Amino acid sequence: MKGAILPDPIELEALDEGRNIWRRYSIVASFDLFDMIVVETRWGRIGARGQAQVRAFNDCESAERYIAAILRRRGTAENRIGVAYRPLTVAP
């Protein structure tokens, strides 16, 4: 597991002022003390507390598959809620 490269944090927003849609979604991957990869997702209305989910994975491939599945789902937001998520730039 040592030497595995984690993806950069991902920040997404879906905004439509006319329809009062203000959503944010973030995905952050990191290592815990036991060398497991922890993927934390946070989502909700901008300005509200929102929700969070944390999942741990034994290998980088499993974590990447999980993140890819989340991003596929966010990619269908325009069909589901009428507004597409757009990526935000995250300062290093």
50: helix, strand or coil: coil
Mean pLDDT of the chain: 90
Q: What is the pLDDT of residues 17-30, one digit of tens each?
A: 999 999 999 999 99
| Confidence (pLDDT) at 24 | 96
| Confidence (pLDDT) at 70 | 95
Q: How far is CA 50 from CA 6, 20, 23, 41, in A?
A: 25, 16, 10, 11
Percent of the chain exceeding pLDDT 70 equals: 92
Contact 21, 81 (CB under 8 A): yes
pLDDT band at residue 45, thresholds of 50, 70 and 90? very high
Mean pLDDT of 74-79: 92
Contact 12, 26 (CB under 8 A): yes
